[in-house]
Structure 1
Amino acid sequence: MKKIKNRERIIQKKFFVNEKENERIKLMMKETGITNFSIFARRACCNKEIFSIDFSEYKNIISEISATKSELKRIGNNINQIAKHLNENKNNQTKEW
């Protein structure tokens, strides 16, 4: 790489991508008409807002839902066992008559 004196941007950033990501980058560059990857990457990284969403509250809700789901499943099993027992007793009583 040739050295350019008085370069405004002196810090180089590198990252790795897979084939699919590389094709997406090429497509996006083609769509925007930018042929220089450095310019494209700088604009993509610096001219966008990054949003961070805190899902910690939802994780607690999801775990509560999961626990409730497990309890409902156990209750359903108990009801099915009671129904089976009642049906077996009912069938046994009708056979005795």
Structure 2
Amino acid sequence: MNDAERFRDKHVHFMATAEEKSQLKKNMRQAGYETLGSYLLKMSLEGIIINVDFSELRGALGDIGSLRNEFNRIGNNINQVTKHVNESHEIDAMDVYLLQEEVDDMKKQIEHFERNVVERFNEKLRELGVE
């Protein structure tokens, strides 16, 4: 049934805050609608609402905390080496080597973390049928 044939005889009313109404109008304009009623009717009848539960990604957020701690530890080590170099005007090759090992280890952890987050995010998208 097209719009010209449709007869609407029921009134629907709901309340919104000023901010919500402003957001609705913004969404309406972005979707190309001229009236809020036509936009809301279309969205209510044909729109899709996707709720995504990212609670499974909390483990990844814990990884961020671990990475932050590692960065702080490496930063402290760099500060200690810098202080030693400034005081003695010498740099120990072993200190440089150990710092490089820590930096390399951090790079591996970051790469692992990135892969893990992307993999979990892609799993969520697949569950939603979005690819």
Relative to the length of structure 2, the TM-score reads: 0.45
Distance 1:24 1:37, change over 3 A: closer
Structure 2, unpaired ranges of 5+: 1-8, 91-131
Which aligned pairs between 1:1-97 and structure 2 lie closer than 5 A? 13-16=14-17, 17=20, 19=22, 22-30=25-33, 36-42=38-44, 43-44=46-47, 47-54=48-55, 55-87=57-89
Unpaired runs of 5+ residues, structure 1, are: 89-97
Query: Which structure is larger by alpha-carbon Rg, 1 or 2?
Result: 1
- Matched-pair identity in %: 4
Root mean square deviation, CA, Å: 3.3
Q: Report deviation, 1:28.
A: 0.6
Aligned residues: 77
TM-score (norm 1): 0.57
Q: Which has the higher helix share?
A: 2
Runs of 4+ in 1 over 3 A off after TM superposition: 12-16, 18-21
